[in-house]
Structure 1
């Protein structure tokens, strides 16, 4: 039997209360985690999974939507604890997750450093050092746009570049569900693209949203914001026209 479980992970980050919503897809043969949180989040995800009746030790795969630290931060911890787990990402993000190339988020932070006010430079340096601590992990399976798999009654990979060039979303045709990673977020009950300071290419981000109009979507699960079900087509069209 196919099951979709949305985890609600509450935590403090830099003094602010936050929530992220990783997703677990499971059936008789697979337990697939989509994005795995910040560094040291393995215990939080393990506990949230247990509360939802899922034994995380049976995990078979982790799909990383993109290589930001809040999506792959705990990946190395998962691999150490569960070495049998296969890591999947887009073919474009593999080089950053594996460490073959420097994180785009770190490149962005370095490129704006000289332009920020002097009183913000120390915290900016701390952020750079933090990103540098994210452990790299080998990717086992590289994914491309329109790749389809039979796992959990069928999933399709949708390339949704913009937030990052290698960003992917996951579409579940049977339930008309989109797992959007950071292609979309929910803020104040509104569906939107993450703010420009977090989105590396806003033009591509809007083009990705336009592409989603080709899919029948009844619900969207955003990593930041959780479940969204209201007037989805209209909400997507509003984002494009903004």
Structure 2
């Protein structure tokens, strides 16, 4: 039986309660983790996995939707502890994950630093140091748009750039489920663009959302928000309309 486990992880960051939702996909031969939280999140991942009677040691593959620190922060630690895990990411993301290129969020933070107020600079410096602390990890396999991975009844790669250039979402045709990553998030029960003020290319992010209408999606799981409850197609149309009005 193929299963999809939502690893809801609640924590405090910058004095605020937050929740992220990595995903575990399971079939008879593979256990696939999708994204892995901030640095030092392995104990939280293990606790969340144990709630579904799963251990991190059983993970065979780890798919990274993009290289933001809340998605790759524990990647190197997981690979170091469980070297059998194959790390999979879009071909555009691989150099950033592996440390061959500077993280784009780090470039973004450094390039805007001088324009900040004196009051804001200490927080920005702390954020920059945090980004610099993220450990790189080699990517074992790169994927591209439209590629169909054979595990768990098939996982289709959808390149959804905008948030970051190599961002991917995953479509599971057997259950008509979209694992969105940060292509969309849930805010107050509605689909939204993730942190539009920090999205590297907002127009491209909207085009990525529009491309989701090409898929027969009945369920969306967002990294920030979990399961979306409602009419998916209608919600996507409403989100696009917000930016076209």
State the TM-score bracket (shorter-chain normalisation). over 0.9
Asked if 1:63 corresponds to 2:63, the answer is yes
2:135 aligned residue: 135
2:54 aligned residue: 54
Alpha-carbon distance in 2 for matches of 1:64, 1:56:
16
1:76 aligned residue: 76
Unaligned runs of 5+ residues in structure 2 are: none
Matched residue SS, 1:153: coil
2:33 aligned residue: 33
CA-atom RMSD, angstroms? 0.7
CA contact (8 A) 2:189 2:229 kept: no
2:9 aligned residue: 9
**Displacement of 1:101 after TM fit?**
0.5
Alpha-carbon distance in 2 for matches of 1:229, 1:168:
22
1:120 aligned residue: 120
**Displacement of 1:148 after TM fit?**
0.2
Alpha-carbon distance in 2 for matches of 1:149, 1:68:
23
Alpha-carbon distance in 1 for matches of 2:90, 2:229:
26
- Count residues with an aligned counterpart: 242
CA contact (8 A) 1:31 1:58 kept: yes
1:176 aligned residue: 176
CA contact (8 A) 1:218 1:229 kept: no
**Displacement of 1:30 after TM fit?**
0.4
Matched residue SS, 1:211: helix
Matched residue SS, 2:233: helix
Pairing 1:157-236 to 2, within 5 Å after superposition:
157-236=157-236
TM-score of the superposed pair, with normalisation by structure 2: 0.97
Alpha-carbon distance in 1 for matches of 2:100, 2:57:
29
**Displacement of 1:62 after TM fit?**
0.5
Alpha-carbon distance in 2 for matches of 1:97, 1:53:
29
Runs of 4+ in 1 over 4 A off after TM superposition: none
